[in-house]
């Protein structure tokens, strides 16, 4: 029997991940729910779990369904930014530009490939506009050597150019290197803590029509690579 009390807590918690919410929806209603309107999903969840569904929960569910059923995340830079923000808990306000920072992009891309994995890990086929947006964000935050899925998303190495540009200026090179190391270390720490929270959440999620075991294994493998 489905634990409605536990699921109600997931639906009300602003820290519940989009992939967790998607699994709840699919486990409860099946794939047909991916074709429902937001209003229908809200109504069904509220009736079945006796809860007033928060807007941030519905936003995450719809973002996850978009990832599952379309390629907008990989082709439309505006949708890419919106989805990254939503997956990280930001309020979705249509018509208002809210840039996604490096940490939000990192977790957004991670959840995206967990929800709909590419055929091969090295195939993150983002449009040139999205790749350029990611490069600009990383550049502004002083991250020259992105790691994990960010490196796959950008698919180039600006650090090699920096090595050439400052080959004759060791003091400037050292300053750039130290800034880069600090930024990456901070980003990795946030990423690791968030991924560990996701693992714990999925391990505690009980499904009637499936299991999170394989997904948890994939996440733990990603954690080992950080």
Average pLDDT, whole number, for the chain? 85
Q: How confident is the model at residue 34 (pLDDT cuts 50, 70, 90)?
A: very high
Task: Identify which of 187, 174, 175, 205 has the alpha carbon closest to the alpha carbon of residue 137.
Answer: 187
Stated pTM of the model: 0.85
Tokens of 175: 């300053």
3-state secondary structure 1-69: CCCHHHHHHHHHCCCCCHHHHHHHHHHHHCHHHHHCCHHHHHHHHHHHHCCCCCHHHHHHHHHHHHHHH
At 170 the pLDDT is 66
- Please state, as a whole number, how many other Cβ atoms lie within 10 Å of the Cβ of residue 16: 22
Q: What's the pLDDT score for residue 158?
A: 52
- Split at pLDDT 50, 70, 90, the class of 9 is very high
Count of Cβ atoms closer than 10 Å to residue 179 Cβ: 14
- Domain locations along the chain: 4-224
Q: Which long-range contacts (CB under 8 A, 24 or more apart) does 73-76 make?
A: 73/112, 74/124, 74/125, 74/126, 74/127, 74/130, 75/127, 75/130, 76/127
Give 11-20 pLDDT, tens digit per residue. 999 999 999 9
Our CA angle for 155, 158, 163, nearest 5°, is 140
């Amino acid at each position: 029997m489905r634990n409605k009390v536990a699921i109600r807590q997931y639906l009300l918690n602003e820290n519940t991940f989009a992939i967790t919410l998607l699994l709840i929806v699919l486990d409860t209603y099946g794939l047909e729910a991916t074709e429902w309107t937001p209003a229908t999903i809200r109504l069904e969840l509220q009736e079945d779990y006796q809860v007033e569904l928060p807007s941030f929960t519905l936003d995450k569910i719809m973002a996850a369904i978009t990832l599952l059923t379309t390629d907008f995340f990989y082709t439309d830079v505006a949708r890419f930014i919106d989805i990254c923000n939503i997956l990280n808990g930001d309020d979705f306000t249509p018509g208002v530009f809210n840039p996604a920072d490096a940490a939000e992009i990192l977790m957004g891309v991670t959840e995206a490939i967990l929800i709909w994995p590419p055929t091969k890990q090295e195939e993150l086929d983002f449009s040139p506009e999205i790749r350029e947006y990611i490069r600009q964000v990383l550049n502004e935050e002083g991250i020259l050597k992105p790691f994990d899925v960010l490196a796959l998303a950008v698919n180039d190495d600006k650090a090699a150019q920096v090595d050439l540009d400052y080959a004759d200026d060791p003091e400037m090179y050292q300053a750039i290197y130290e800034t880069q190391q600090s930024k990456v270390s901070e980003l990795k720490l946030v990423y690791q803590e968030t991924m560990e929270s996701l693992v714990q959440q999925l391990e505690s999620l009980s499904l009637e029509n499936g299991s999170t075991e394989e997904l948890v294994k994939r996440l733990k493998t990603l954690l080992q690579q950080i």
